[in-house]
Amino acid sequence: MASPITLLLVRHGQSEWNAQGLLQGQTAHVRLTALGHAQAELAAAELASLHPGALMSSDLVRAVETAEHCARATGLRVVTTPALREQGYGLLEGRPSRELWDVVDWTDASWAAEGGESLAELHARVAAFLGQLCAEPPADVVALVTHGDTIRAVQAVAAGLGPDALPAVTPHNGSVTRLEICD
């Protein structure tokens, strides 16, 4: 049995599209706002006090910008991976989030927008990533800079829950969530 690993899940700071109320998904180029950089700086300070031994990030710009703050605060090198990307929403990305309540079937874990990714696919991607992390942990405490839906998927996988049971609450931008896995 693997030794437990502590994950420090950092949600990226506020992005330009968060501020505009637009659905981001896997849109790669969306940058942080000034508030997002301030949130990332606070998250980085909190993260440094928790002494991670490794720092990994989604490869999407808003996460990488947040991870750069974390790298400066911890002295760690950022390793990026597409495994930590947000759920893909395909053709819905860039649309106002409020419009989505009429088109997204939030109760069906296999539903996906055209060109997007279902919650079941997100869950499977995260489960595979966590399995690899448990098999070859880079440190006992690992910081993951990622996205709201991805954090919810990590929480579900760690709790042994399926894609239909992701937590309902999305962590706030710039938050740090502590979680134990691999025990």
Question: Token pair of 162, please?
Answer: 């399926």
pLDDT 10s digits, 47-99: 999 999 999 999 999 999 999 999 999 999 999 999 999 999 999 999 998 88
Residue 23 near residue 170 (C-beta atoms within 8 A): no
Rounded CA Rg of the chain: 16
Cβ neighbours of residue 37 closer than 8 Å, sequence gap 6 or more: 13, 65, 69
Q: Which of the 8 DSSP states describes residue 22? A: B
| Distance, CA of 42 to CA of 36 (rounded, Å) | 10
| Distance, CA of 134 to CA of 25 (rounded, Å) | 26
pTM: 0.96
Long-range contacts of 35-38, Cβ-Cβ distance < 8 Å, separation of 24 or more? 36/12, 36/62, 36/65, 36/66, 36/173, 36/174, 37/13, 37/65, 37/69, 38/13, 38/174
User: How many domains does the chain divide into?
Assistant: 1
Phi, psi of 181 (to 5 degrees): -135, 170
- Each of the 183 residues of the chain gets a pLDDT tens digit; together they read 468 999 999 999 999 999 999 999 999 999 999 999 999 999 999 999 999 999 999 999 999 999 999 999 999 999 999 999 999 999 999 999 888 878 887 789 999 999 999 999 999 999 999 999 999 999 999 999 999 999 999 999 999 999 999 998 999 999 999 999 987
What is the domain extent for residue 138? Answer: 5-181
**Residues with catalytic function:** 12, 86
**CATH code, 143:** 3.40.50.1240
Sign of the C-alpha dihedral computed for residues 117, 121, 127 and 128 taken in this order: negative
